[in-house]
Each structure stands twice: as structure tokens, then as C-alpha cells.
Amino acid sequence: MELNQLTAHELLEKLKAQQTTPEAILDSLYARIQKIEPQVKAYVRGQACLPSTSSQADLPSVGDRHACPLRGLPITIKDNICTEGLPTECCSKILQGFRPPYDATVIDKLKKSGAVIFPLKANMDEFAFGSSTENSYFGPTRNPWNLDYVPGGSSGGSAAAVASDEAIWALGSDTGGSIRQPASFCGVVGLKPTYGRVSRFGLIAFASSLDQIGPITKDVQDAAILTGLISGYDPGDSTSVNQDVPDYTKSLTGDIKNLKIGIPKEYFIAGMDEEVKTIIQEAVNKLKDLGALANSVSLPHTEYAVPVYYIIATAEASSNLARFDGVQYGYRASSDNLIQMYKLTRAQGFGQEAKRRIILGTFVLSHGYYDAYYLRALKVRTLIKQDFDKVFGEFDCIVAPTSPTSAFKIGERAQDPLSMYLSDIYTISANLAGIPAISIPCGFTKKGLPVGLQIMAKPFNEAMLFRVAHTFEQNTDWHKFKTKL
Ligand code: GLN
């Protein structure tokens, strides 16, 4: 196996034993990118930004490498997480040329742990609006399992890069499924942490009450390591929670005997792909074989999750995006009239989906509609959260599909926003409730496209997710398959 094909924990072993170097790992990634990036397009702004050899890369000194847990290991970052001096444009024209003067807290933590921030950023839907990465200003990323299909979104670049070994591991962000759904479409592991577990400082906001940064990795052990490194209280984010970060690798015990697993009946509905349904049922049977006790549970307000999410998320987005007016950041249209400059900048700088969300969000917050839509959505959000509280009173975790289908074809839903929104049905409840959720590979369709299994737990119980996910993974081979690229 080439170095770029290994997991982070395998590479960390090699670095520790001095059997490889960060330079050699970077060179193997560069070679892979040269070969397949023209087809996959997981990264943005082109290979021009990529040094031709690792000798030009900004690597920690040899002394520092051995003092830090990550020892110079590279990590790929989604284009909405601020990286000092490196372009961070949310794959939007309106942020063209924006180079943040500071690092997001997660980047700061990773650098202090000895990580090398990969010089190319990962593709995404503009401002993380989407489920397919087709809304990127830079054009779509392709699914490495079949280039005619989407990689999912909005963190499609991060997921495709990890799945095709163009990255060792990556960070994404998840507001309504943007880590888990692309992880499931690309056959890799993706975790949305509990709201408040990971600092959002330096994550360009989409919907501030829902956004979380999380890992996209080749296996569960890597996800446990990375989550531990990025978690924790940050005075720079008033919604981050001051709670100890456990050593998540200690939860990889391989033991799920007598754990109580809830299977929500509302997640197995008409419209769900039959093949996906069978694969999920087989995965649940596997968990039972491994000693878990599975029972049907009810999350009765599930049917309201999509409408509630698309009210709250667009309301918050319309407010967060108000700052992009051509004055402080990125793109500015030319005009000698100030108001005209604002209008032209926003008309030319935002793509279609961003405009749709700004208009929807402004509408639900406007006088007369605020009470009818926004306030009611907040109340139903509480009911959705209470559904979970009730189930977690009796069960250790909930197991469900990540998405009702496997990856769809590029272009198939691009002109039909409603069908795109409906594909988020299984992921957005976890964001509305603030609970942690992971997606892990659990099978392939007959067409050879991956399917993801979603596991949810109560707030701050990421350890439970790692325990169940790792036990499943170690007793199946789904994570070992490689794309044919
Ligand atoms: N697909 C969802 C949306 O378009 C979720 C996106 C996300 O999690 N960033 O809003």
C-alpha cells in the first residue's frame, strides 16, 4: 500500500517508529492528486496552489514533530474553516480572494498538535448550502466510486478526498447533515459532534444554532483521535461547553453486549430506497449478533424536521450572510453609488441557492411571518428534541440510515431544490436536537455505491458512538474497500 492509502493512526505509528516522514506522506498525496484530481475535483483553486514537492511545504521542525501527537501529519480542511493566510472562500464568488488573518480554533488546536494544514482546501456547496456539492462556485466534485454520481454535500470535497486517498483525513462542517451524508455517499466515516463540543470560532457561519465542525476519516479510530483533538471549551465561542474531553480512543473496546439500541420506526418510510433499507436491516442484525439489544422506538415529530430546519436554517443564514456586502470581505462590484455597489456585489457574488436561502430566510423573519413561521418552528424544534430525550431515557443509542438513498447522479436533483431538501430527512433532526451522530460504511448497492449507517447518542456521549461504530466496523469489511480510481 502507498502511504496516502493508510489511515492516520497507521501513519502515526510509522512516524513514531521513524519508518516514514511527513515529507514522504505529502509526496504520496501530491502524486495521487496529480493522477486523479482532474477527474474527482475534490479540491478547489487548482493545483497551482500546490507546491511541486514537499521540500517547499511549511513543515514543523524535526524536534517539534516528535514532541507533538500528530508529528507533521497532513490534514485536509473544508473551504469554510478559516486558515491563516490560505484562501477561505466558502466556494463562493462573494468571498473571492479572502485570506483570513487568523486561524479557526480547530486549526489552531491541530497546528499545536503538530498537524500540517494541507495547502489546498476541499470543495463544498457554496456556504454549505446543499447536499451534492453541485452548488460550488468552482463546479461539482465527483463521487470517486462512480464519477457520474455526486459525492453528497455540502462537505463533498472532504469526503471524496478521503475516500479516494487524496487526503489522509479531513475536517468538514455539519448544519443539517453535511458531514454524515457525504461520508455515507463516499463510504467513509463522518461525525457531527454534540452542539457545543467543538468551537465554531473561525467557521464561517451558516446557521449558528446548528453548525458544528467534525471529522471525516477512513475509520472509526481516526475519527475518535481527531474528535479528541478538536473538542473543548473555547472562550472565542460562547456556545462551546466547558466539559472535559475524554480520551475517545478508550471507548474503542469492541464490546456492545446488552447495549440498548433504538430503531426509529419513522425512519423506515415510503420513499426510502428498498436496497438501502435491506442493507440497514442487515447492519442492525449484525449489531444484534454482536450482543446489542435492538427494539423499535418512536420519534413522532420526525415528519416536521425538514420544514422546521428549512425555516430556522434559512432564517439564520439570511442574517449571517448580511455581512457580505462588498465592503469588508472578498468580491466587490464596481459602482460609484454605494447602494448600487451593495446591490451589484450581492447580485453578482451569490449563487442561485444562496439567493434562494436569503430570500426564504428574510421572508420567515419578516413582520407578520415571524410568529407564523420562525417562532412556531422554534417550538416544534423543542418537540423534536424532547422526542430524543425520551428515547435516550431508555436506550443507549439510536441506529438509522444516514440517507434514504445512496448517491444520486450529477444533475439529477440540481433543478429541483425540494427533492434535494428532502434527501436530508434523516440527518437534520440530530442538528435540531443538538445531539452527536456518526455515519459509518455498512454496505454497497448493486451499482457499487456505498451506504452509510447512522448512530445517534445523547449530548456529549460521543464515546458511545465510537464504541458502537468501532465494534461494527471491526466485525465487518466495509471500510476496507477501495475505489477503482
Ligand atoms: N443539505 C443541508 C442544507 O442544504 C445541510 C447542509 C449542511 O449541513 N451544511 O441545508
Note the pLDDT tens digit of each residue in 240-296.
Answer: 999 999 999 999 999 999 999 999 999 998 778 999 999 999 999 999 999 999 999
Whether the Cβ atoms of residue 402 and residue 452 lie closer than 8 Å to each other: yes
Confirm whether 283 is domain-assigned: no
In angstroms, how far is CA 221 from the centroid of its own chain? 17
Is-contact 216 177, C-beta < 8 A?
no
Atom of ligand 1 nearest to the CA of 131: 1
CA 195 to CA 173: how far, in whole Å?
A: 12
Question: Nearest residue CA, atom 10 of ligand 1?
Answer: 129
Q: Is 174 in the pocket of ligand 1 (CB under 6 A)?
A: yes
Tell me the three-class secondary structure of the chain, residue by residue.
Answer: CCHHHCCHHHHHHHHHCCCCCHHHHHHHHHHHHHHHHHHHCCECCCHHHCCCCHHHCCCCCHHHHHHCCCCCCEEEEECCECECCECCCCCCHHHCCCCCCCCCHHHHHHHHCCCEEEEEEECCCHHHCCCCCCCCCCCCCCECCECCECCCCCCHHHHHHHHCCCCCCEEEEECCCCCHHHHHHHCCEEEECCCCCECCCCECCCCCCCCEEEEEECCHHHHHHHHHHHECCCCCCCCCCCCCCCCHHHHCCCCCCCCEEEEEHHHCCCCCCHHHHHHHHHHHHHHHHCCCEEEEECCCCHHHHHHHHHHHHHHHHHHHHHHCCCCCCCCCCCCCCHHHHHHHHHHHHCCHHHHHHHHHHHHHHCCCCHHHHHHHHHHHHHHHHHHHHHHHCCCCEEEEECCCCCCCECCCCCCCHHHHHHCCCCCHHHHHHCCCEEEEEEEECCCCCEEEEEEECCCCCHHHHHHHHHHHHHCCCHHHCCCCC
State the closest ligand 1 atom to the C-alpha of 353, by its place in the atom list counted from 1.
Answer: 4
The preferred substitution site among 171, 310, 424 for testing ligand 1, maximizing ligand atoms within 8 Å of CB, is 424
- CATH code of the domain containing 89: 3.90.1300.10
Ligand 1 atom at minimum distance from 424 CA = 1
Q: What's the whole-number mean pLDDT along residues 4-25?
A: 97
The burial class, CB within 10 Å (0-12 / 13-18 / 19+), for 441 is buried
Cell of 439: 455515519
pLDDT in tens, 305-338: 999 999 999 999 999 999 999 999 999 999 999 9
- From 80, 92, 131, 431, the mutation candidate for ligand 1 (largest count of ligand atoms within 8 A of CB) is 131
Do the domain assignments include residue 136? yes
* Residue in the structure block whose three cell numbers are 440540481: 414
What total number of domains does the chain contain?
1
Atom of ligand 1 lying closest to residue 423 CA: 1
Domain with 179 in it: 3-262+393-480
Residue 63 lies in a domain: yes
- Say yes or no: CB of residue 206 within 6 Å of ligand 1: yes
- CB of 214 within 6 A of ligand 1: the answer is no
Q: Whose CA is nearest to atom 5 of ligand 1?
A: 176
Instruction: Mention every residue, 6+ apart, whose C-beta is less than 8 A from residue 21.
Output: 15, 72
Q: Ligand 1 test: best mutation among 90, 150, 154, most atoms within 8 Å of CB? A: 154
Residue 49: band (very low, low, confident or very high) from pLDDT cuts 50, 70, 90: low
pTM for this entry: 0.97
The whole-number average pLDDT for the span 194-208 is 98
Name the phi and psi angles at 412, rounded to 5. Answer: -60, -40
Strand partners, 409: 149
Ligand 1 midpoint to CA 420 (Å): 10
What pLDDT is recorded for position 207? Answer: 98
- pLDDT value at position 169? 98
Per-residue pLDDT tens digits for 391-447: 999 999 999 999 999 999 999 998 888 888 888 999 999 999 999 999 999 999 999
Q: Buried b vs exposed e over 104-114: b needs ≥16 C-beta within 10 Å?
A: bbbbbbbbebb
Confidence of residue 359 (pLDDT cuts 50, 70, 90): very high
Q: Which residue has the cell 492516520?
A: 8
Is 18 within a domain?
yes
Burial of 400 (0-12, 13-18, 19+ CB in 10 A): buried
Active-site amino acid positions: 78, 154, 178
313 lines ligand 1 (CB under 6 A): yes
What are the cell numbers at 185?
455517499
Q: Is 152 in the pocket of ligand 1 (CB under 6 A)?
A: no
Task: Give the model's confidence band at 26: pLDDT under 50 very low, under 70 low, under 90 confident, else very high.
Answer: very high
pLDDT at 448 exceeding the cut of 60: yes
Amino acid (one-letter) located at 235: P
Work out which ligand 1 atom sits closest to the CA atom of 431. 8
Residue whose grid cell is 466539559: 243
Q: In the beta sheet, which residues pair with residue 294?
A: 261
**Which comes out higher in pLDDT, residue 68 or 349?**
349
Question: From the CA of 175, how far away is ligand 1's center (Å)?
Answer: 6
pLDDT at 48 over 70: no
The pLDDT of residue 47 is above 70: no
Contact status, residue 124 vs residue 136, Cβ threshold 8 Å: yes
Closest CA to 113 of 163, 68, 55, 62: 68
In this predicted structure, the answer to whether residue 64 has a pLDDT above a threshold of 80 is no
Structural domain contains residue 180? yes
The length of the chain in residues reads 485
Categorize the per-residue pLDDT at 479 as very low, low, confident or very high, splitting at 50, 70 and 90. Answer: very high
Under the banding of pLDDT at 50, 70 and 90, the label for residue 67 is confident
Closest Cα to atom 4 of ligand 1: 130
386 belongs to a structural domain = no
Q: Which of 136, 178, 431 for a ligand 1 pocket mutation test, highest count of atoms within 8 Å of Cβ?
A: 178
Answer yes or no: is 378 within a domain. Answer: no
198 bridge partner residues: 231
pLDDT at 81 exceeding the cut of 70: yes
Query: What is the whole-number distance in angstroms between the Cα of residue 425 and the centre of ligand 1?
Result: 11
Q: Is residue 281 part of a domain?
A: no
CA of residue 19 to ligand 1 center, whole Å? 41
First to last CA, the chain: 14
The whole-number pLDDT of residue 192 equals: 98
Average pLDDT over the chain reads 96
Residue 235 CB-half CA count within 13 A: 0
> Which residues partner with 29 through β-bridges?
none
Pull the grid cell for residue 157. Answer: 470535497
With a 6 A CB cut-off, is 154 part of the ligand 1 pocket? yes
Q: Is 127's C-beta closer than 6 angstroms to any atom of ligand 1? A: no
Whether the CB-CB separation of 171 and 106 falls below 8 Å is answered with yes
Ligand 1 centre and the CA of 177: distance in Å? 6
